[in-house]
Amino acid sequence: MDSNTNTVKKILKGNTLGKFIKANLDLDEYSPDDIETLAFKISLSGCKIINTEYNQLKLNEYKKAIERATKYLKEFNFETSIPLISINFKLDKNIDRLLNKIKFLYKSELNFDILNIIFGAQSDNFIEEFLNEISKIDNSLIYTININRNKLSNSSILKNINTFYERISKNLIIEIDYISRISCEEDLNSDLQILSTADIIYKDLIREKNIYKKIPIVLPISKSSSIFKLAGQCDVKYDGISLKDFTFSSSDMKINKESISYNLLNKFSNDLKENINMFLRIN
């Protein structure tokens, strides 16, 4: 894996409303045949990152399907890119168990590209201890650090980003996530908290220090949020969008390789991108 954050920024160059798209999937919901269709669809959608839980068998099937879909699309000279595969790594309260798990992932066949570390509700002290331990392990992954303001202050968030970048990896993506969503009022509050956090990261870290300018910032978009509109109104800087509630159906686009053509591929691609754009515009 290239250790240069310029590579990450280049791969994740915005292509949908000026932003790159991260889709969240549960591969356990799909059969092997459906994964084939899913891979074909995602290859046409313009998504740059596919995020899921770690399931080695399903990940192998998905990665092989993506490679087959990409090879097939190239036969029609249809421009496409292979999405990066991201897997979730949720922090629990046991440092030793987390370290054993992360060492296992490092030594595996690495059929994924990005480790999505979810800080969740862990305290600043726990996160600091965890980061200190994984800084001792050599690896070449791209990382997403998934943060929220549940138990972290602004200064803690900035400190953790700095620690990760300086001591663990410069192949880094920052994703700001929800704490919880219960009512419409709390949804708005959550949106404002997320945008405030993104703005602080940009103004107090990325804008002030040139070395951090290649780190992409990702915001979450759900069906009930207004983040996309609010970010534009508040001029909050960010690079990517994580689709929280968007579903790629495997039933409405079956691939018939005997009748497929460039024009049909183009129609599939345009329809998929328009569905994503519509999802973004109504939020």
Nearest partner of 138 among 89, 103, 114, judged by Cα: 103
Burial class (CB in 10 A: 0-12, 13-18, 19+), 194: buried
Mind listing the pLDDT tens digit of every residue in the chain (283 residues)? 444 455 576 667 766 667 888 988 877 777 777 777 777 778 788 888 989 888 888 888 888 888 877 877 888 887 777 788 899 999 988 999 999 998 888 877 667 889 999 998 889 999 999 999 999 887 778 999 999 888 888 899 999 999 999 999 989 999 998 876 544 445 788 888 899 999 999 888 877 787 788 889 999 988 777 888 898 899 999 999 998 877 776 666 566 666 777 887 788 788 888 888 888 776 6
Token couple for 40: 């074909």
Can you give the residue ranges of every domain in the chain? 5-281
Count of CB atoms within 10 A of residue 32's CB?
Answer: 12
Tens of pLDDT, residues 19-76: 888 988 877 777 777 777 777 778 788 888 989 888 888 888 888 888 877 877 888 8
Total-model pTM: 0.87
Which CATH number, 3.30.420.40, 3.20.20.60, 3.20.20.70, 3.30.450.20, labels domain 5-281? 3.20.20.60
